[in-house]
C-alpha cells in the first residue's frame, strides 16, 4: 500500500493513423519487463493532436476503448491516456460533441473519464472540441491520483489541492490533501518546452505531490516538433526522471512514506487558501 509503480511511454505517434499507433503502443507495452501497476500514454495517443474529430472520433464503444480494455485485462494494469471521443451528452449546442477525453481503464473493464477542461485556443482546439467541467480523482491502493491533460498545466487553480475532493472515482476523499499524484498526458511542442518543465515542477511543489508528465516525441502532421522531456517529479520538486528527443519506456516506484514525510515536515497545505471552483458541475 505504501508504493505505487508507474510506467511512462514516450512515443513518436503516427499522424492520424489509429491502427499504426495501437500496434506500436501494444508492442511497447508488451516489452515492459518490470512489474508495473499504471501505464501512462500521451495525449491523443491514437491519432496525434489532430483538429479533425469529425473524421477520427470514436464512441465509448469504439475500437480504441476495446483495445484499452483488452490490454488492461491481459496485463493486469491500469492504462491511461487521452483520445478523441464523440459523445451524446447534452451540452446545449447543435450537432455532435467531441471531447479530448482521458480514459482511466481498470483491469476489470471499468473506466473513469476526464474531459480536457482547458482547450488550446492558440491551435483552434476550442473550435473543434467541447471543454470538460469536472475533475477526476482516481484511487489506487490508497493513493489518490488527479488526472489532467496538457494545456491544463498552465492553469494552477484547476490542479490545486482542495478538500473535500470535487470528484472521486472511488467515493473516498476528504482530509488535508485531496490527492497524492498528479498526472498530465500531453502533446507539448519543443518550442515551449521550458514552460512544460517549469510548470510541472511548480505543480509538484505547490501541491506537495508527485507529478508525472508524459509527452510525445517526433514531428506531427503539422511539422511541429516534440522533444518529449516526459518527467517524474517528487513532492519537493526534484526531477526523478526525464528524457529528451528519444522514445523511451520508463518505470519508477513512488514511495508514500516519502510523500507523507515531506507533508509532515513541511505542513504547508494546512495554510492554503480555502476556495471552490464555482463554474464546475457538481
Cβ-contact 41, 1 below 8 angstroms: no
Q: What is the mean pLDDT of residues 169-184?
A: 72
Residue 201 is given by DSSP the state: H
List the catalytic residue out of 37, 43, 58, 190: 43
Residue 43 known to be catalytic: yes
Q: What is the mean pLDDT of residues 80-101?
A: 85
Per-residue pLDDT at 93 exceeds 90: no
Q: Which three cell numbers stand for residue 40?
A: 501512462
- For the chain, the average pLDDT equals 93
List the catalytic residue out of 28, 58, 144, 150: 150
Coil vs helix vs strand at 274: coil
- pTM exceeding the 0.85 threshold for the entire prediction: yes
Q: What is the CATH number of domain 3-271?
A: 3.60.110.10
Q: Report how far residue 121's alpha carbon sits from residue 170's, in angstroms, rounded to the nearest whole number.
A: 33
Residue 52 known to be catalytic: no
Q: For position 172, what pLDDT does the model report?
A: 42
Torsion-angle region of 268 (φ positive above 0: left; ψ -120 to 50: alpha; else: beta)? alpha
Bond prior to 164 in cis (omega within 30° of 0): yes
Among candidates 28, 19, 37, which has minimal Cα distance to 104? Answer: 37
* pLDDT tier at 165, thresholds 50, 70, 90: very low
Q: State percent of the chain over pLDDT 90.
A: 86
Q: State percent of the chain over pLDDT 70.
A: 91
List the catalytic residue out of 18, 116, 144, 243: 116
DSSP run (H or E) holding 143: strand 143-149
Q: For position 173, what pLDDT does the model report?
A: 39
Q: Report how far residue 217's alpha carbon sits from residue 13's, in angstroms, rounded to the nearest whole number.
A: 7
* pLDDT tier at 276, thresholds 50, 70, 90: confident
End-to-end Cα, the chain, rounded Å: 30
Domain range list for the chain: 3-271
Residue 26 known to be catalytic: no
Amino acid at each position: 500500500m505504501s508504493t505505487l509503480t508507474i510506467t511512462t511511454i514516450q512515443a513518436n505517434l503516427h499522424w492520424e493513423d489509429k491502427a499504426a499507433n495501437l500496434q506500436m503502443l501494444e508492442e511497447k507495452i508488451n516489452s515492459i519487463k518490470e512489474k508495473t501497476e499504471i501505464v501512462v500514454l500521451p495525449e491523443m495517443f491514437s491519432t496525434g493532436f489532430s483538429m479533425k474529430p469529425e473524421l477520427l472520433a470514436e464512441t465509448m464503444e469504439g475500437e480504441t476503448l476495446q483495445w484499452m480494455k483488452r490490454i488492461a485485462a491481459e496485463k493486469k494494469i491500469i492504462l491511461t491516456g487521452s483520445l478523441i471521443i464523440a459523445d451524446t451528452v447534452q451540452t446545449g449546442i447543435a450537432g455532435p460533441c467531441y471531447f479530448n477525453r482521458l480514459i482511466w481503464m481498470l483491469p476489470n473493464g471499468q473506466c473513469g473519464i476526464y474531459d480536457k477542461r482547458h482547450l488550446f485556443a492558440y491551435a483552434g482546439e476550442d473550435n473543434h472540441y467541447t471543454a470538460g467541467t469536472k475533475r477526476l480523482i482516481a484511487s489506487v491502493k490508497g493513493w489518490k491520483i488527479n488526472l489532467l491533460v496538457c494545456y491544463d498545466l498552465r492553469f494552477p487553480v484547476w490542479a490545486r489541492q482542495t478538500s473535500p475532493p470535487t470528484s472521486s472515482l472511488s467515493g473516498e476523499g476528504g482530509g488535508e490533501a485531496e490527492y497524492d499524484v498528479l498526472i498530465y498526458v500531453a502533446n507539448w511542442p519543443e518550442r515551449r518546452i521550458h514552460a512544460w518543465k517549469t510548470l510541472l515542477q511548480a505543480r509538484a511543489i505547490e501541491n506537495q505531490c508527485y507529478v508525472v508528465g508524459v509527452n510525445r516525441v517526433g514531428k506531427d502532421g503539422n511539422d511541429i516538433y516534440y522533444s518529449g522531456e516526459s518527467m517524474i517529479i517528487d513532492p519537493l520538486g526534484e526531477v526523478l526522471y526525464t528524457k529528451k528527443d528519444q522514445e523511451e519506456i520508463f518505470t519508477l516506484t513512488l514511495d508514500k512514506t516519502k510523500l507523507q514525510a515531506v507533508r509532515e515536515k513541511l505542513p504547508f497545505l494546512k495554510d492554503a487558501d480555502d476556495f471552490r471552483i464555482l463554474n464546475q458541475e457538481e
